[in-house]
Chains A and B, each alone.
Chain A
Amino acid sequence: GAGVSQTPSNKVTEKGKYVELRCDPISGHTALYWYRQSLGQGPEFLIYFQGTGAADDSGLPNDRFFAVRPEGSVSTLKIQRTERGDSAVYLCASSLGGTGSYNEQFFGPGTRLTVL
């Protein structure tokens, strides 16, 4: 697999439930990003990892959102007590370095989250 992969591709949940979204970056990419995209909008930055650490989590909307990348490769975005307003496509991207180092970001296909 040469590209960024995300699972599941679709997730339907009920309000108040907990969900986990997974991202497998391109092998060897140290930087990983999560974005959220609402219909008709561009992706909105959520969090950026450089290796295992969150270098910038300023885009997380509130403390119900949390992301981890324990071994510096796979990342999981976790959403607690989901709300209908969390419904969106969650996109993951990776790059060889980090932003600001002339590295292209490569995106996965996204996870479409629907909160009923």
Chain B
Amino acid sequence: DAGVTQSPTHLIKTRGQQVTLRCSPKSGHDTVSWYQQALGQGPQFIFQYYEEEERQRGNFPDRFSGHQFPNYSSELNVNALLLGDSALYLCASSLARQGFMNTEAFFGQGTRLTVV
């Protein structure tokens, strides 16, 4: 089992550019959540995707958008990059059960985004 895989591992972008980060969930998982972890801080919830729809969103601007594909993999897109978007972006996958909270979330190793 490959677990949660994220690509790329590192990325450098220029302010104003757009970036796409990718996540493949753990085998059997159908839900993907994205988190932003700034240096020295805990992760902050961006949004969650289930059944190819955004199920919930944290306090992030519309510049942050996502997508989930039929195979449950997901993308995080950030437009008009700001210096403050520099962070580690973590993807977590889990299995949704109707009527219950998500079970344990498995995290990937993250994508380190640097905006210059």
Partners in one complex: no
